[in-house]
Amino acid sequence: MSYGFSGKFELIVKDILLKLYSLHFVRETLLQYSFQNLKGHRRMLSDKTRVHKFKKAIMKTVRKYDTVLDVGTGTGILAFFAANMGAKKIYAVDYSKIIHLAQEIATKNNFNNITFIRANLNRIKIPKVDCIISELIGGSVVDEGIIDKMRFARKFLKNDGKMIPKKIEIMFSPAESNEFDFFWQKRYGIDFSPFHRKLSEKTYPIQITNRTEFLSNDKLVYSLNFYSLPKIIFVEKTFKITKNGYLNCFCAYFKIYLTDTIQINSLDNNPEWKSFILPVKEALKVKKGDLVKLKVWTAKNNTEWKWDYELLS
């Protein structure tokens, strides 16, 4: 293949294109096979609270003769709920091979109004639908790519169409937590600070218990509205410290609004959706009255959080 260049410059261009393709291929392959993990799907289907709330939201939203798009259908459970509500046509889309199992379950249960499509959303062609549903909400909200996928999916939604979920509110607070080994102090007489610096670049799920103390009142940092999704999230918030302590992370939890009245809160001991933390590179000694600024934004196609922080006083 020729790229319209010659000599050394063409080799450089080829090398760059191959690297970009390789990164995309690795990411898509990892994403595909992570969701083929049947244990993960078993765990999600066994989460009765989550399943029942999605079912209730679909019962409230989907009407007879509606058309529905299920983004990231997995085992097909949400598509099946829509079918039970009398939806005329359901398009169940998933990139993973799990979709073949979903199709088998549909056949076993005589759901004949569901079209299963194994593809990326940007490769499908379907008519406008009355409702879009999706459960692509990761442990840190964004890590399953829900922002970009749902933003793209909206082009298939009718002007008066509905979305499940409607929005997700993400709350943060500076915190002192012993739920996670931060390694910012010496261990066994060894300085592990380089290891901690790498740890502090990623988010980690935790279950908030009495081992985690909020050092400030929690604040709504971002409201992710699925009817108006951003190209990227970038937000700054300033917190007033309410008690003395060592700030070693920012703790986050989220509220999923499936409808105006049906919600799931990650604080409610949910088996799948817990809270998550943004570790800091070095614990900060803070006192009551101090001000701490947090900057947080999304990266890598809105699938990761990045953050920075500053003690203002």
- DSSP one-letter string for 206-217: E---TTEEESB-
Are 119 and 214 members of one domain? no
Are 295 and 187 members of one domain? yes
Q: How many CA atoms lie within 13 A of 67 on its CB side?
A: 11
Are 125 and 181 members of one domain? no
**Residue 278 within a domain:** yes
How far is residue 182's CA from residue 185's CA, in Å, rounded to a whole number? 8
**Residue 149 within a domain:** no
Segment-wise mean pLDDT, segments of 10 residues, the chain, 313 residues: 53 55 51 61 85 97 97 96 97 93 96 96 95 94 94 96 97 90 83 87 84 89 96 96 95 96 85 86 93 96 95 86
**What pLDDT, on a 0 to 100 scale, did the predictor assign at position 79?**
98
**What pLDDT, on a 0 to 100 scale, did the predictor assign at position 110?**
97
Are 172 and 302 members of one domain? yes
Are 207 and 293 members of one domain? yes
**Residue 220 within a domain:** yes
**What pLDDT, on a 0 to 100 scale, did the predictor assign at position 306?**
96
**What pLDDT, on a 0 to 100 scale, did the predictor assign at position 7?**
59
**What pLDDT, on a 0 to 100 scale, did the predictor assign at position 213?**
87
**Residue 159 within a domain:** no
Are 99 and 176 members of one domain? no
**What pLDDT, on a 0 to 100 scale, did the predictor assign at position 77?**
97
Q: Give the total number of structural domains in the chain.
A: 2
Are 85 and 176 members of one domain? no
**Residue 110 within a domain:** yes
Among 135, 159, 181, where does a domain finish?
135
**What pLDDT, on a 0 to 100 scale, did the predictor assign at position 37?**
73
> Rounded to 10 degrees, what is the CA torsion of 304, 209, 43, 260?
-70
**What pLDDT, on a 0 to 100 scale, did the predictor assign at position 16?**
57
**What pLDDT, on a 0 to 100 scale, did the predictor assign at position 295?**
97
**Residue 83 within a domain:** yes
φ and ψ at residue 45, rounded to 5 degrees: -65, -25
CATH number, domain at 174? 2.70.160.11
Are 110 and 184 members of one domain? no
Are 181 and 286 members of one domain? yes
**Residue 239 within a domain:** yes
Q: How many CA atoms lie within 13 A of 124 on its CB side?
A: 23
**Residue 98 within a domain:** yes
DSSP state of 64: T
CATH number, domain at 131? 3.40.50.150
Are 195 and 237 members of one domain? yes
Residue with tokens 């709330």: 53
**What pLDDT, on a 0 to 100 scale, did the predictor assign at position 2?**
46
Residue-number span of the structural domain to which 52 is assigned: 38-135
**What pLDDT, on a 0 to 100 scale, did the predictor assign at position 271?**
62
Are 295 and 178 members of one domain? yes
Are 182 and 106 members of one domain? no
